[in-house]
Structure 1
Amino acid sequence: MDPNNKKPGIANRLFSKFLDFIENYGNKLPDPVMLFIIIAGIILLCSAVFAALGTSAVNPATDEEIFVVNLLNGEGLIMILTELVPNFTSFPPLGIVLVVMLGVGLAESTGLISALMKTTIMNTPKKLILPVIVLVAMLGNAAADAAMVVLPPIVAMIFIALGRHPIAGLAAAYASVAGGFSANLILSMLDPLVAGFTQTGAQIIDANYVANPAMNYYFLAISCFILVPVAVLVTTKIVEPRLGSYTGTTEKIEEVTKSEKRGLLWAGISISVLSVIVMFLTIPQDALLRDAETGSLTVSPFMTGLVPLMMVFFLVPALVYGLVTKVLKSSKDIADHLAKAMSGMGMYIVIAFVAAQMIAFFNWSNLGPIVAIKGADLLQALGLTGLPLLLGFIIVAALINLMVASASAKWAILAPVFVPMFMIVGYSPAFTQLAYRIGDSITNPITPMLAYFAIALTFAKKYDPKIGIGTFMASLLPYSIAFAIVWIILFAAWYFLGLPLGPGEFIHLNN
């Protein structure tokens, strides 16, 4: 009997009600742009109220007493007016994301990413197909959200060809991209994006702090290998048995063309050439991209130049692929595709403008450091320190993700509070960011607030027109639970072993 035809049990009914609650109240939340505007207004109001009350806190690092500054008086309004443009143009995440998207967007626009995903999976031995699908899905995060759209329907068709349930393949692909959104062997657009907000939050305490986009790389690269077998196990032992056998019609997967294969070959050659050049510029002790005085690579032009290097590593192979496949036939085509790559960034630019003002108001008012200091005092008074403190933050981030799916929107709000708060109790911004990224990822597969959830559900309806949110969510929830358990165990092990998080980045500030 098809499990979908059984009468739902108590647990399923309760879960369905929970999802209805999340969807109902989540849909009532304002758009992220309006959310930032509302929060900015609240900050301005609070600055006036708490300044009038004489609210203050003592900075434990300098013993200096900090008072709330009223931004609604004459001086404050002048500062808001005259600094509005500089707030936006100097906002760290703005330039970082736009630069990386020049490369990532062109790789997506020319078809390089789609062809790479398709050829990788179709040329894999049958026994390794599912692990490779999961790995490709996680590596697909480097292409921002493109993998959430491109990969699930391809995998569904591959599962049909293998005699397996297409929705199981679709769920495995979508959950691996969304749930493992931070795990990767290469730096993705998300790395510099969240690092920009982390830097902004850390500078509330340390004005000279500079965030490294690779600050979590060691942990997240290992996570990729840990989560792949977890996703495979969940698919084969839980999701597929529950869905049963597929009785619908089959369909043929579109083959990779000779032109696409040739394009991928030359794109791969271009990446190899780029890699050799970068190795030549970084490996020798006196290499150009090392620190000129110390020879260090962790604090060097290489690390500060990671964002442009990421752009180049996407841009060059995308250009090569486009020229070889004739997608790009002239300089005008290149310009048009670059413009197309950036055209989708309009909403992000609007969000960045509003978020930049909100964070500036938070810093100018001194509410940021005061909330951080008092929050740290409260945590210490409650005895919430060490690992339980960070695990609690992971859970908070995971729950917030059910309501606000945008990783950048959430971190723009949370970073100015939690990064300085945890710095005061001794944790590095990199460790706080890592805890956030885990929490942000694990509930991605099951949040209806993520736009790609609706797209994945639409793909699923192609194979089962009667499938609803609850049924599809039930296929995705096991991944979220399994990823949460395994990732938290890995996070705890990393904490107790005191391992470095990335190049030059550690758990504690005093390392």
Structure 2
Amino acid sequence: MQGSGSPNSNFESSANSSRMQRFLKGVEWLGNLLPHPVILFVWMSVFLLILSAILSYFRVSVIDPRPADTADRSADGMIYVVNLLNGEGLARIIENLVTNFTGFVPLGTVLVALLGVGIAEHSGMISAAMRSLVMNAPKKMVTLTVVFAGIMSNTASELGYVVLIPLAAMIFHSLGRHPLAGLAAAFAGVSGGYSANLLLGTVDPLLSGITQEAARIIDPAYVVGAEANWYFMIASTFLISGLGYFVTEKIVEPSLGKYNPNDAEDASVLDNQIEKVSAIEKKGLIWAGISMLIFCGLLAWTIVPADGILRHPETGLVSGSPFLNGIVVFIFVFFALPGYIYGKITGSIKNNQDVVDAMSDSMKSLSIYIVLVFFAAQFTAFFKWSNLGSVMAVAGATFLNDIGLTGPLLLVGFILICAVVNLMLGSASAQWAITAPIFVPMLMLTGYAPEMIQAAYRIGDSTTNIITPMMSYFGLILAVAMRYKKDTGVGTLMAMMLPYSMIFLFGWTVLFCVWVFVLGLPVGPGAETFYPAR
């Protein structure tokens, strides 16, 4: 019978809720102690320089694990910490400050990919596609479709937060369901499923570039492509969609109960009409879809045949081919071409100036990212020049091997560390730029490939996005929630999203372990599981 239960059980439930609230408030307080990621990189770079001088003075070193014929291996087979605060070190910093920035791999790849996404977003194609997908879904499939649409929206950066989450709340209310359940389902897909997708987006070249820079601390010639986690991302899309559906239908919506319209901050929000996809938008989507299919067909013609022109010229394989090496170019065209066609049909793009404006607007949104990259690039370079990355990697790998921590348990521990760090440092690029130079070399020396390490990181980074107020759009989501329930607070929103976070983390980690350690599948095209490959 609903509402029944002993006083003790009610007391225990209240106590558990209170403890959870205190925990979440504690996370928020700790996160607020951290400076802006840009300032964090500045202070960490300064700390790293000072640390290099101190450790160099005490001749801190480790045994070099690289082969004896390695070009830069020292005569005594040791890796020493290099002082970056002496005359030679300061000269190197000054001479390379600009090239560290311009040569930082993620910078160019993200800029190119975002140019194409900017055209598709500015034309309205992505927004119309999301609205069409969600609004045309059968009632029984609305929840699943909302979560899936949230995951897919990640290719267009913030569009899922701005468009889909408010839309999902409105759709759920129009169906007589609790609007916060729709908001939660969309938020779970957009943010909790951040690293799952059927398509490659701007985050893929960003993370792979940082991974590549970190991997080159151990192997200077190592290359990590934007497609490094594509296979695992595709499988993760279906897993997170299913888990998001289950949590919404079985846990979150029942706990919210029946919606009371009097809870709304402003009653007018309940009268908002959902903007349906117009006939001209449908026509634009059809022709945009046709252009996508034609483009994909042309790409298939260049790589599927054994003599395809974009296969590797020597081996004839797709691995290491111009197709994979230039995948960012294809991401650009994949979004730019249909976006342009959609815009011409709907009238949102009238001339070439509109195309230029669309790309310019997409670059404006990257202003803070470019500032962040400048300092992240310096931090990464200092880490490499000082040999601190190599020393920490060898020492950490030796410790892990000595205690016998390898296999699934090691990677599960790494995922959990990333999930906890993400609670206080919500930016995926900032967190990975800080942690990759430490963990990627370390785990490489324990025998795992950078591509697989990156896939593990992305699980931890995604699953706690939805319960940390440090996530950049958390305030926006809270504002939308308060429209429908005026007493919604930070703790309320966190508690509502916590079941998604826990179940996503558990389910995604299980999938990762089964994928890698049981089935032995690669996480992406040409991606290795072990380093060196065996």
What TM-score, normalized to structure 2?
A: 0.93
Offset at 1:62? 2.5
Deviates more, 1:247-256 or 1:91-100: 247-256
Q: Residue by residue, what CA displacement relative to the aligned partner does 1:48-70 show, whole Å, maximum 9, x if unpaired?
A: 11111011111212253111111
Aligned to 1:40: 45
Q: Distance in 1 between matches of 2:243 and 2:495?
A: 17
Aligned to 2:333: 312
Alpha-carbon distance in 2 for matches of 1:279, 1:2: 59
- 1:22 counterpart (11, 18, 27): 27
Give every structure 1 segment of 4 or more consecutive aligned residues whose post-TM-superposition deviation is greater than 3 Å.
Answer: none
Asked if 1:92 is matched to 2:108, the reply is no
Alignment of 1:51-90 (within 5 A): 51-62=56-67, 64-90=77-103
Q: Alpha-carbon deviation of 1:506?
A: 2.6
Determine if contact 1:40/1:361 at 8 Å carries over to the other structure.
Answer: yes
Moved more, 90-99 or 136-145: 136-145
Which position in structure 2 is the counterpart of 1:500?
522
Letter in 2 for 1:187: L
Identical-pair percentage: 47
Amino acid at match of 2:158: D
Cα distance in 2 for residues equivalent to 1:338 and 1:433:
29
Question: Whole-Å Cα distance in 1 between the matches of residues 475 and 117 of structure 2?
Answer: 23
Q: Select the residue among 470, 477, 480 that pairs with 2:491.
A: 470
1:179 pairs with 2:165 = no
Matched, 1:388 2:409: yes
> Hey, what does 1:376 align to over in structure 2?
397
Please tell me the residue identity of whatever aligns with 1:209: Y
Amino acid at match of 1:197: I
Partner of 2:430: 409
Letter of the structure 2 residue corresponding to residue 443 of structure 1: T
1:33 is matched by which residue type in structure 2?
A: V
For 2:316 and 2:149, how far apart are their aligned partners in 1? 35
Over aligned residue pairs, what C-alpha RMSD do you find?
1.6
- Counterpart residue identity of residue 157, structure 1: M
- Tell me whether 497-506 or 69-78 shows the greater mean CA deviation: 497-506
Q: Which amino acid aligns with 1:508?
A: F
Kindly tell me: are residues 342 and 2 of structure 1, through their superposed partners in 2, closer, same or farther at Cα, counting changes over 3 Å?
farther
Alpha-carbon displacement from aligned partner over 1:88-108 (angstroms, at most 9, x marks no partner): 111001001111110112222
C-alpha distance in 1 between matches for 2:352 and 2:527 = 42
Offset from partner CA, 1:464-489 (integer Å, 9 cap, x none) = 11111122222111100110111111
The one-letter amino acid paired with 2:222 is Y
**Match for residue 343 of structure 1?**
364
User: What is the number of residues matched between the two proteins?
Assistant: 509
Letter paired with 1:49? I
Distance (whole Å) between structure 2 residues aligned to residue 324 and residue 486 of structure 1: 43
Question: Which amino acid in 1 is paired with 2:500?
Answer: Y
The SS at the match of 2:79 is strand
- Aligned residue number for residue 277 of structure 1: 298
Question: How far does residue 2 in structure 1 lie from its aligned partner after superposition?
Answer: 10
Secondary structure of residue in 1 paired with 2:142: helix
Q: Report if aligned partners of 1:138, 1:224 keep a CA contact under 8 Å in 2.
A: yes
Determine whether 1:168 maps to 2:181.
yes
* Residue 312 of structure 2: aligned partner: 291
Shift of 1:298: 1.6
**Amino acid paired to 1:26:** G
One-letter amino acid of the counterpart of residue 498, structure 1: G
Residue 193 of structure 1 deviates from its aligned partner by 0.8
Matches within 5 A, 1:151-300: 151-248=164-261, 249-300=270-321
Distance 2:512 2:352 in 1: 48
Match of 1:440 in 2: 461
Q: Does 1:485 align with 2:506?
A: yes
How far has the Cα of 1:399 moved from its partner? 0.2
Unpaired stretches in structure 2, ≥5 consecutive residues: 5-9, 69-76, 262-269
Name the counterpart of 2:147. 134
Residue 31 (1) aligns with residue 53 (2): no
CA distance in 2, matches of 1:212, 1:218: 13
Q: What amino acid does structure 2 have at the position aligned with 1:499?
A: L
Structure 2: how far apart are the matches of 1:44 and 1:174?
40
Letter in 1 for 2:358: H
